[in-house]
C-alpha cells in the first residue's frame, strides 16, 4: 500500500497539523515505510499464535493498599496561608 501527498494533507487536516512541503515529503516517506513494514507483518502465519492481552506473562506483585495518616491535622494546617480553626481558607469560587 502506498499513499500520496493528498492523503498526508488530509491526515494532517484531520489531526490539526500543519506541515511545509519538505515536512510533507518526510511524513509521506515515513508513512510509506510504516505501511511497508505492516505489509511484511501481514505475510507472517499467525494462525497458531494465541492472542495476547498483555505483552508479558509476568504478574504484577503489588503491596496491599492500606490507608493511614502520614501528616497530622495540625501539621497539615501549619503552613496554610489562611486557616479557620480546623479548615483551610480559600477564595470564594461560586456565588
pLDDT tens figures, 44-83: 898 898 888 878 878 787 888 888 888 888 888 888 888 8
E-strand ranges in 1-95 read 83-84, 87-88
Cell numbers at 44, concatenated: 507472517
Other CB atoms within 10 A of residue 24 CB: 15
Q: 10 with 33: CB under 8 angstroms?
A: no
Q: What domains can you pick out in the chain, each with its CATH number?
A: 5-42 (1.10.20)
pLDDT tens figures, 6-34: 999 999 999 999 999 999 999 999 999 99
The per-residue pLDDT for 76 is 83
Model confidence at 2: pLDDT above 80: no
Amino acid at each position: 500500500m502506498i499513499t500520496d501527498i493528498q492523503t498526508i494533507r488530509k491526515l494532517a487536516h484531520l489531526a490539526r497539523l500543519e506541515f511545509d512541503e519538505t515536512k510533507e515529503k518526510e511524513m509521506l516517506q515515513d508513512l510509506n515505510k510504516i505501511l511497508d513494514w505492516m505489509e511484511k507483518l501481514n505475510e507472517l502465519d499467525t494462525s497458531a499464535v494465541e492472542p495476547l492481552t498483555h505483552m508479558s506473562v509476568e504478574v504484577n506483585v503489588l503491596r496491599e493498599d492500606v490507608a493511614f495518616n502520614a501528616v497530622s491535622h495540625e501539621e497539615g494546617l501549619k503552613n496554610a496561608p489562611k486557616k479557620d480553626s480546623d479548615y483551610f481558607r480559600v477564595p470564594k469560587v461560586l456565588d
